[in-house]
């Protein structure tokens, strides 16, 4: 980790931040003074490439507003592309096509924002076209060259052409909008006969057949369907709709919202249009099935759903094949699952979360489980599952490992994380740190923080950091205090009372070591509304010090035994006597 070249890292960090800021807001154009032509005039000034498109703008009535100030992105088909488009229509000149048809054509190639290629992802663009559908982009390699492909229909041949009212990307083919709804795509495909019939019998076919403009429900204007082919269902011994109904319907009426077949189908529908690149950017996605989520991850090049570790067991996920996914519809997108899957029915289960097991540390075999390591502020700022408040210089973290270290030798897996914190935050210490949890099953949990007490200094009354715990869903910035909340002071030892007495007032031992310094504090109760991954935040509310030794965060269902099992330093379970 330490072998990062500081100047290069700083430059990359600056550029990364700049790119993120750019991606999160509309481009700011300077309207007062510009010698650059606007879109319409630029096309007119380059007839060798765009004479046909210039005619299209005039015929569609869009030439005037694209010659005015604003902020647009035009994917501009060159002359060759327009002529090829005319051939598919059986026409020889642009004048043979109506102005209204050309207006729709232009609107599908136009976004009302300036979006450069640095904002492109392997997925949908951040804005709808003025036609009302998303465009998707991705890199494709052929003959040793990498090109940016748009909607799997055209290549960008010249990009980021800056004009007075936005950007132009030249493309070598025209773009064609989706013409079918999700429901119509499925119905037209003979591979989905069983799934389509189930959607119709449940009433959900109509949910997937509504155009965004006609859909009054804001969060259902665009949807994502993960469908199962007849072959996939047959592999699960489901040979027709009647088999599917017998397998899942618990009421005999799949139109009922509480029917298990209805819920099974809703579990295959996600809110919003989510292409594969969107699916892998979040660890969990809400489905139409109330309070049920699909988890997602990228494994190598494979997009997997519901690939989870639960109760110490790897539950193998379901692949969403790239070659048959990302099918655009007028009201969303369609993917297909490589295998049959249903709602995972689980009860709340205890999770013992070692805060040292975040991806960047686990991958560093020179340090994890071997040696202590102090992260640079830049390295700490780049962590994906540990986050801090404040500026980059606030983000400090030490991994302490080893049986020779006082704070880690009796801790879980013989390691702790040392996180400086200060109330309100300072120039060198964050106000809070938060950790991304493992998968938590919907339910109520008592949350315990295992730590090793240590005061940074004993002079002038000594130092301390007192914290409260908050929790929030992954993908949301909202963090909510726990109910029945308590606070934790990193210099406070256990009161030294019998176990039942201590538990009643929010203390316990959790390790083989029962000294007062190795202690677990009950922070409160979290009501997890949906299965998924969350962020648990520790926020300083009093004091400031660097020696805050965090070891293990436990999420224990409220009715389960809160004391056992305990642990030996090597992670071995100590069962209840």
Question: How far is the CA of 210 from the CAs of 269, 406, 571, in angstroms?
Answer: 14, 64, 54
Same domain, 145 and 192: no
**Residue ending a domain, choose from 305, 336, 367:** 336
Do 25 and 63 share a structural domain? yes
Can you tell me the distance from the alpha carbon of 382 to that of 386, in angstroms, rounded to the nearest whole number? 9
Mean pLDDT, range 288-303, rounded to an integer: 88
Residue 343 resides in a domain: no
CATH number, domain with residue 424 = 2.60.120.260
Beta bridge partners of 171: 77, 156
Average pLDDT for the chain: 89
Lowest mean pLDDT among 16-20, 238-242, 262-266, 550-554: 16-20
Q: Is residue 82 part of a domain?
A: yes
What is the per-residue pLDDT for 17?
A: 34
| pLDDT reported for residue 161 | 94
Tell me whether residue 525 is in a domain: yes
Strands 432-436 and 534-545: antiparallel
| Residue 177 lies inside a defined structural domain of this protein | no
Residues 63 and 107 in one domain: yes
Question: Which pLDDT value is given to residue 138?
Answer: 84
In a domain, 176, yes or no: no
C-alpha–C-alpha distance, residues 460 and 454, integer Å: 16
Q: What tokens does 520 get?
A: 């677990």
157 close to 150: Cβ distance less than 8 angstroms: no
Coil/strand/helix, residue 161 = strand
Q: Are residues 143 and 187 in the same domain?
A: no
In this predicted model, what pLDDT tens digit does every residue of 495-509 receive, in sequence order?
Answer: 999 999 999 999 999
In a domain, 344, yes or no: no
Among the listed residues 551, 524, 538, the one whose alpha carbon sits nearest the alpha carbon of residue 421: 538
In the listed set 303, 336, 369, which residue is the last one of a domain according to the structure?
336
In a domain, 98, yes or no: yes
What tens digit of pLDDT does each residue of 108-135 get?
Answer: 999 998 999 988 877 888 889 999 999 9
Question: Within 10 A of 78 (CB to CB), how many other CB atoms are there?
Answer: 23
422 and 295 fall within a common domain: no
Helix, strand or coil, per DSSP, at residue 286: strand
Q: Where is the domain boundary, 171, 204, 231? A: 171
- Report the half-sphere exposure of 455 (CA within 13 A, side-chain side): 12
Beta-sheet strands, E only, within 408-548: 415-418, 421-422, 432-436, 443-452, 465-473, 480-481, 488-489, 507-508, 518-528, 534-545
Place of tokens 């819920």: 263
Q: What's the structural domain count of the chain?
A: 3
User: 156 and 207: one domain?
Assistant: no
3-state helix, strand, coil in the chain (%, to 5): 25, 30, 45
Q: 21 pLDDT exceeds 60?
A: no
On whether both 458 and 550 belong to a single domain, the answer is: yes
Same domain, 550 and 434: yes
CATH code of the domain containing 158: 2.30.180.10
Residue 75 falls within a domain, yes or no?
yes
Look up the domain containing 126 and give its range. 6-171
Same domain, 203 and 167: no
- In terms of domains, do 321 and 274 share one? yes
- Model pLDDT, residue 311: 66
**Whether residue 20 is found in the same domain as residue 142:** yes
Residue 494 and residue 389 in one domain:
yes
pLDDT tens readout for residues 77-117: 999 999 999 999 999 999 999 999 999 999 999 999 899 99
Query: What confidence score (pLDDT) does residue 492 get?
Result: 95
pLDDT at residue 392, as a whole number? 82
């Amino acid at each position: 980790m330490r072998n990062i070249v500081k100047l290069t890292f700083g430059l990359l960090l600056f550029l990364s931040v700049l790119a993120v800021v750019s991606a999160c807001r509309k481009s700011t154009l300077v309207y007062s003074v510009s010698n650059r032509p606007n879109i319409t005039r630029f096309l007119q000034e380059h007839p060798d490439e765009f004479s046909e498109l210039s005619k299209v703008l005039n015929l569609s009535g869009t030439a005037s507003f694209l010659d005015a100030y604003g902020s647009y992105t035009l994917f501009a088909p060159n002359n060759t592309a327009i002529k090829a488009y005319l051939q598919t229509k059986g026409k020889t000149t642009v004048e043979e096509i109506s102005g209204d048809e050309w207006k729709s054509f232009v609107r599908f190639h136009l976004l009302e924002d300036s979006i450069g290629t640095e904002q492109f992802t392997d997925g949908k663009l951040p804005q709808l076209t003025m036609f009302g559908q998303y465009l998707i982009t991705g890199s494709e390699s052929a003959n040793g060259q990498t090109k940016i492909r748009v909607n799997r229909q055209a290549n960008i041949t010249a990009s980021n052409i800056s004009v007075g009212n936005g950007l132009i990307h030249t493309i070598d083919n025209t773009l064609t909008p989706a013409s079918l709804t999700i429901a119509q795509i499925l119905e037209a495909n003979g591979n989905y006969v069983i799934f389509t019939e189930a959607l119709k019998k449940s009433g959900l076919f109509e949910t997937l057949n509504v155009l965004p403009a006609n859909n009054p429900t804001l969060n259902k204007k665009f949807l994502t369907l993960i469908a199962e082919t007849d072959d996939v269902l047959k592999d699960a011994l489901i040979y027709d709709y009647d088999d599917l109904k017998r397998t899942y319907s618990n009421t005999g009426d799949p139109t009922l919202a509480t029917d298990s077949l209805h819920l099974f189908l809703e579990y295959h529908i996600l809110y919003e249009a989510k292409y594969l690149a969107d699916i892998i950017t979040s660890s969990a996605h809400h489905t139409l099935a109330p309070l049920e989520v699909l988890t997602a991850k990228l494994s190598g090049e494979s997009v997997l759903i519901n690939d989870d570790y639960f109760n110490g067991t790897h539950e193998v996920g379901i692949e969403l094949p790239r070659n048959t996914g990302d099918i655009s519809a007028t009201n969303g997108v369609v993917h297909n699952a490589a295998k049959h899957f249903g709602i995972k029915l689980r009860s709340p289960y205890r999770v013992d979360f070692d805060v040292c097991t975040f991806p960047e540390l686990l991958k560093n075999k020179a340090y994890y489980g071997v040696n202590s390591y102090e992260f640079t502020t830049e390295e700490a700022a780049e962590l994906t599952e540990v986050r801090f408040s404040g500026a980059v210089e606030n983000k400090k973290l030490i991994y302490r490992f080893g049986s020779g270290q006082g704070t880690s030798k009796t801790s879980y897996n013989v390691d702790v994380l040392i996180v400086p914190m200060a109330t309100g935050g300072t120039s060198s210490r964050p106000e809070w740190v938060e950790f991304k949890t493992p998968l938590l099953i919907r339910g109520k949990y008592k949350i315990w923080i295992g730590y090793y007490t240590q005061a940074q200094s004993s002079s002038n009354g000594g130092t301390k950091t007192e914290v409260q715990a908050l929790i929030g869903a992954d993908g949301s910035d909202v963090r909510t205090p726990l109910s029945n909340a308590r606070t934790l002071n990193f210099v406070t030892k256990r009161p030294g009372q019998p176990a039942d007495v201590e538990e009643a007032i929010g203390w316990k031992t959790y390790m083989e070591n029962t000294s007062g310094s190795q202690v677990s504090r009950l922070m409160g109760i979290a009501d997890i509304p949906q299965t998924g991954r969350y962020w648990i935040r520790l926020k300083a509310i009093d004091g400031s010090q660097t020696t805050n030794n965090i070891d293990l965060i436990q999420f224990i269902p409220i009715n389960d035994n809160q004391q056992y099992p305990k642990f030996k330093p090597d992670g071995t379970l100590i069962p209840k006597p």
